[in-house]
Amino acid sequence: MIGWELPPFSTGGLGTHCYSLTKRLSKYVSIFFTMPNRKGVPSYDFMEIIPIPSPSLGVGVYVTADHKVHYMSDWIPHIIDVYAKEIVKAVKNIDFDLIHSHDWLTAPAAMAVKKLTGKPWIYTVHSTEWDRSGGSPWPEALAVETEGLRNADMIIAVSNRTKNMLIEKYGIPPEKIRVVYNATEPITYRGRKYSKMVLYLGRLTVQKGLYHFLHAAKLVLEKDPNVLFVIAGTGPDEDYLINLSIELGIHNNVVFTGFVPDEEVKKLYGSASLYVLPSKSEPFGITVLEAMSAGTPVIVSKQTGVSEVIRNCIKVDFWDTRLMASAILEVLNYPSLMESLRANGYKDLHRITWEDSARKTYNVYRDVLNL
Amino acid sequence: MIINFYFQVHQPFRLRRYTFFDIGENHDYYDHNKNKEIFLRAARKCYLPTNRLLLDLIKKHNVKVSFSIPGTFLEQAEMYNKDVIQSFQELVDTGNVSLLNETYYHSLAFLVSKQEFVEQVKMHKKITRKYFNKQPVVLRNTEAMYSNAVAKVAEEMGFKAMVTEGWDSILGWRSPNYMYKAKGSNVKLLTRNYKLSDDIGFRFSTPYWEEYPLTADKYAMWLASSPGEVINLFLDYETFGEHQWPETGIFEFLRHLPIEVAKHKHLEFATIDEVVHTLEPKDEIDIPHFLSWADIDRDLSAWLGNNMQKSAFEEIKKLEPYVKEQGGKVLEDWRKLLTSDNYYYMCTKWFADGDIHKYFNAYDSPYVAYANFMNIVRDLKHRLGLLTKA
């Protein structure tokens, strides 16, 4: 498996996904997991980690040895090219049957390994450049992604929403795409719950629909000034959103937490009265499952992959701020609604498990290998 | 052996998505477009063609059937398609059709109070007389919800009989194919033969059913070989053309059934009034707790099973004295909120576990149904002066 990161050395959901999936997949197959070695690699007993030499992944502006100034936009392609060059050396002495990579960052590396060994390649799409960019893709990333998707032997999409996007935007034939949903590790929370705290947790980027969320918050606060909105996480839109909350005159009821460490995430999920994922375009939306697992009811936009698999939640269109605000007020005002969503949410989670995702992934392996 | 067909006709006033922001601002609760669309579709697919077919069967084969038609249905027919009323009137005018009484609003009124139940039944008596010039002798409660207590009220109101579900745990060794009597009152009891009723209502178009396809001659044979005095076939009228589409052959089945029935000398059709007049009770049946014809549980859990349903109903119940004091439109809206479907839409029995097989809902989910309903309850309180602020 060609990865990008693993906990605890991870910054995003990709690492968590790879960890949870490989842990269960290892019941069916033995796994060599490659990842760029930036600040060290973890070790696990269920698979062998193969570190690949890599430049470090910082943020912002870089100066390389040739005294050239680089921005993030050309640094990333550089790192993924290094990954592709170095991986070829590392996998020469390994015996394996297929290649499984995740997202565009690992696509060039996977393609290089396929070229070297001729082994079949499965490409899991966690998000497309269209999702990440909110509709205006970065050409470099789009090019890498498109080449990868065309060359992969089979694609796993994390939702039907993503599958459809691959068909429409990338011209991938439907029969080359399988859908395997994400799941969540159980989160237990036994502490207190706020009575009127509405949480969003995730990156602060344009595709998350936070502009509409803040407008919904304004409508909520007009009816009930005692609701607290917590927007947890960081991202490029942070300043913009803080300013927007001031413009809307709701800044006293909206808290921007900035970066939240893992142990605090659990507390936030559990202590919230309600979790909202208002995304404009979300391939999956694993935070929704995490919030449900922590015993918190959820409102989720219909433009998310996760809304395909969960039933015990309230679904609204991301742009329908009035209906979103109404749903928030309803959950906060009607205790039976909050309690029913919370209690029945666990029933969804009984169905949506990593064990199931791993079994479905293994079935894709078998199909690709004609087993 | 009497074949006693009774068809339940029903269309609720579905509620529109009434948001938290509508509370105190807007008192129109109904989804007029959707109600009209569904009514017109049902009229086209079920009511008009099935009525026409029955009229033909009455003339040709002296078929007899019975109907229960709630006030909420007649109101919608009046608004959306009057031909439907006329076609039911034609059927009733043949003399081969009996009508039943029930709550005007197809509602949970009995669970609110005896007084409310009696008032709604009286309203239904009045509208039945107005449109059909009939005075029914048989009472049915919404979704065949029945207990000794309901029969007692029926007796007080002058009804001779009631209908309910012929559920095994109630009947025990007894067959549903006889007339019974309620415990604690002098009310006759007709119990639904759910096996033979559901063969048409549910299983008719189920390919994996071992008896599929169900033909009229086979079904007539089953009727003929059933022991007892009366076979109570109680069905949603929408079975014909709506639940079972024309392509399933449901109309051909109905068209041929009288011909096949005629081949068995001891089988005859009768209206429910005739059945009540003719047959004497064989035994007394004690039903202290509510029974209904819903799903596999045959109790009230489809309407009042979960906490959302219970809380919604408790809230609405509390408003009874206030809406009655104010009367008029508030009382009418309150009564429409008592329609059983509103609570059924909040049911999570199948929904929560992800089994959507038998599930239908006017909303996205039971949660939205509940939230919506509670918003409307708040508005009602607002109108009643029970809330100063939304």
> Residue B174 sits in a domain of what CATH number?
3.20.110.20
B18/B143 same-domain check: yes
B124/B222 same-domain check: yes
Instruction: Tell me whether residue B297 is in a domain.
Output: no
Tell which of A336, A342, A349, A353 to mutate to test the B interface (max B CBs under 10 Å): A336
Instruction: Tell me whether residue B240 is in a domain.
Output: yes
pLDDT tens track for A202-234: 999 989 999 999 999 999 999 999 999 999 999
**pLDDT of B11 over the 80 cut:** yes
Average pLDDT for chain B: 95
C-alpha B267/C-alpha B343 separation (Å) is 40
Strand bridging mode A197-201 / A32-37: unpaired
B368/B248 same-domain check: no
Instruction: Tell me whether residue B212 is in a domain.
Output: yes
What ipTM did this prediction achieve?
0.91
% of chain B beyond a pLDDT of 90: 92
Q: Is B350 helix (H, G, I), strand (E, B) or coil?
A: coil
Instruction: Tell me whether residue B227 is in a domain.
Output: yes
To the nearest whole angstrom, how far is the Cα of A254 from the nearest Cα of chain B?
21
To the nearest whole angstrom, how far is the Cα of A183 from the nearest Cα of chain B?
16
B20/B142 same-domain check: yes
Question: In chain B, which residues touch A (CB < 8 A)?
Answer: 17, 19-21, 306-308, 310-312, 348, 351-354, 364-368, 370-371, 374-375, 390
**Banded pLDDT at A136 (limits 50, 70, 90):** confident
Residue B114: which H helix or E strand, with range?
helix B114-132
What does the block give as tokens for A321? 């701020």
B321/B257 same-domain check: no
B184/B43 same-domain check: yes
B317/B186 same-domain check: no
Residues 215-254 of A with CB under 8 A from B: 219, 223
Comparing alpha-carbon positions, the chain A residue that sits nearest to B364 is A315
To the nearest whole angstrom, how far is the Cα of A269 from the nearest Cα of chain B?
21
CA angle A246, A250, A256 (to 5 degrees): 75
**For residue B358, what pLDDT is reported?**
47
**pLDDT of B40 over the 60 cut:** yes
User: A167, A150, A157: which is closest to A110 by C-alpha?
Assistant: A150
Q: Which residues of B touch A349 (CB under 8 A)?
A: none
Comparing alpha-carbon positions, the chain A residue that sits nearest to B371 is A330
User: CB of A224 within 8 A of CB of A250?
Assistant: no
Assess if CATH 3.40.50.2300 describes domain A197-351: no
Instruction: Tell me whether residue B293 is in a domain.
Output: no
Domain residue spans of chain A: 13-183+353-368, 197-351
Mean pLDDT, to the nearest integer, of B170-184? 96
C-alpha A185/C-alpha A179 separation (Å) is 20
The structural domain count of chain B equals: 2
Contact A326 B19 (CB under 8 A): yes
B278/B218 same-domain check: yes
Tell which of B20, B316, B368, B378 to mutate to test the A interface (max A CBs under 10 Å): B20
Instruction: Tell me whether residue B210 is in a domain.
Output: yes
* Position with higher pLDDT, B365 vs A362: A362
Q: Which residues of B touch A331 (CB under 8 A)?
A: 371
User: B2, B61, B3, B8: which is closest to B233 by C-alpha?
Assistant: B3
Amino acid at A258: G
% of chain B beyond a pLDDT of 70: 97
Tell which of B353, B367, B376, B389 to mutate to test the A interface (max A CBs under 10 Å): B367
Comparing alpha-carbon positions, the chain A residue that sits nearest to B24 is A223
Q: Residue B366: which domain range?
A: 302-383
**For residue B357, what pLDDT is reported?**
44
Q: Which residues of B touch A311 (CB under 8 A)?
A: 351-352, 354, 365
**For residue A55, what pLDDT is reported?**
83
Fold of domain A13-183+353-368: Rossmann fold (3.40.50)
Instruction: Tell me whether residue B291 is in a domain.
Output: no
Is A13-183+353-368's fold the same as A197-351's?
yes
E-assigned strand segments in A7-57: 32-37, 48-53
**For residue B215, what pLDDT is reported?**
96
Of the listed ranges A68-77, A124-133, B77-86, B381-390, the least confidently predicted one is A68-77
**pLDDT of B354 over the 60 cut:** no
Mean pLDDT, to the nearest integer, of B205-216? 93
Boundary of a domain, candidates B238, B257, B285: B285
Reported pTM: 0.92
B367 vs A335, A341, A351: nearest CB: A341
**For residue B390, what pLDDT is reported?**
43
CB contacts < 8 A (A, B): 73
Instruction: Tell me whether residue B290 is in a domain.
Output: no
B284 tagged catalytic:
no
**Banded pLDDT at A262 (limits 50, 70, 90):** confident
